[in-house]
Chains A and B, each alone.
Chain A
Amino acid sequence: MSGTSKLITKAIDTAILVLLGDKITAARQREIRRVIESVHSEEITAEEGYDRLRFEDGDALDKALKGLPAD
């Protein structure tokens, strides 16, 4: 593979990473929105909303750092 091809492949890989990363973060933003909307419509209390959005030990980052398989 020529240098240009390698560069393009690398650029595509990076772009895919950015796109997927954006999707993952967007999913979390949607979750935040859903929780806050539920609080506003009084389905749950603000305290419950806070607990739902709080990360607990053993999340994806914990697994990635400890080398455990992701869910």
Chain B
Amino acid sequence: MKRLWLSGAMLAVAMFATGCETMREAKEIPAPRSILEGLAVAQGEIIAVRDLTAFILNANGQDCREKPQTDLCALGFRVDERTRTLRDGLDDIRDAYLIANMDIDRCRIEYAGVAMPCEDRYDIILAGVIEVRKQIAEATRK
């Protein structure tokens, strides 16, 4: 019993000494200077959520292939699905951002089988919107 209390106390001290490491590290991430950098940080946070979910599943010895599924596995599958949706959504935003920041000479508006060069900034944004719509339509068909 005494040993148990002692380990509990040692753990409490360890937690206090460690502080909340995640928060400390997160505070030190430099502020993103562009949308693309912000998207990169968001992708990193998605990985962190997935890592933590995997750790919890493994630590609890969950075999998620078994039926019926445990609540923890169901949660794991939900996290997997949501993070995938988020990742794909961020990819779409990234693509639109890259197109919208494209060099005007490389920009083409491709719509209804016709390709025309972009003439100004509005054309570049239009090309970006068309591209994203095309990608969303392709992703929906899959």
Using CB atoms and an 8 Å cutoff, list the residues of chain A in contact with chain B.
2, 4-5, 8-9, 11-12, 15-26, 28-33, 35-37, 39-40, 46-47, 49-50, 52-55, 59-67, 70
Contacts and interface: CB of A to CB of B under 8 A. Distances in A.
Interface string B2-23: 0011011001101100101110
Interface residues of B, number: 57
A64 B83 CA distance: 15
B66 to A, nearest CB: 9
B104 interface: no
A65 B80 contact: yes
A46 to B, nearest CB: 4
Given A22-B18, A28-B44, 14 more contacts: A2-B1, A8-B4, A19-B14, A28-B48, A32-B40, A36-B30, A47-B36, A53-B43, A54-B47, A61-B53, A61-B79, A64-B54, A67-B64, A70-B58
A8 B11 contact: no
Interface of B is mostly: helix
B29 A29 contact: yes
Contact of A11 (B8, B28, B55): B8
B56 A17 contact: yes
A36 B44 CA distance: 10
A5 to B, nearest CB: 6
B23 to A, nearest CB: 9
A67 B63 contact: yes
A15 B73 CA distance: 21
Interface string B55-94: 1111100111100000001001101100100010001001
A24 B52 contact: yes
Contacts of A49: 36-37, 40
Contacts of B83: 55, 61
A65 B73 contact: yes
